[in-house]
Amino acid sequence: MASDSSSSKWVMENGDIPHVLAVDDNIIDRTLVEKLLKNSSCKVTTAENGLKALEYLGLASGAEQKNTLENGGPKVNLIITDYCMPGMTGYELLKKIKQSSMKEVPVVIMSSDNIPTRINKCMEEGAQMFLSKPVKQSDVKQLIGQLMNLGRLQKN
């Protein structure tokens, strides 16, 4: 894959490329978020719903101990999830993650509905950020800036 030499490379404190789990039931939105994150030098894994995300993270059906940690750390450095999904909302996914051994992993909620009570509820539950859809490259840059401020990312 060709890379744009003008694009910044972002790495975790340990030198690894940031790994993001993107969760959205809409394939178009999921693909867009994946592309934007990859443009920002992130490794991206996608899931089509909250249950698939929990399965990937090893948090579904008591599988937490088995799959959550990889080389002493979480499998992902950031989770971006849609709010409105069938079966399990992004808010419910956020709550499950924040009640697990992966509670330190930042979770970003995105939604096409800009409802203040929904945004506040997610932020109170521990969401790092709330993004309005459609997500833009500038949103990803803002998110990266927040992660840098937390000391999780550095420019390479």
| pLDDT the model gives residue 72 | 45
- pLDDT higher than threshold 50 for residue 61: yes
Task: List helix spans (H) across the chain.
Answer: 27-39, 50-57, 64-67, 90-98, 116-124, 137-149
Q: Is residue 1 part of a domain?
A: no
| pLDDT the model gives residue 80 | 97
- pLDDT higher than threshold 80 for residue 34: yes
For residues 27 and 72, the model is more confident at 27
Q: Is residue 105 part of a domain?
A: yes
Domain span at 89:
10-155
Q: Is residue 94 part of a domain?
A: yes
Q: Give the lowest-confidence range in 27-31, 109-113, 131-135, 152-156.
A: 152-156
CATH number of 39's domain: 3.40.50.2300
Q: Is residue 70 part of a domain?
A: yes
pLDDT band at residue 36 under the 50/70/90 scheme: very high
Q: Is residue 40 part of a domain?
A: yes
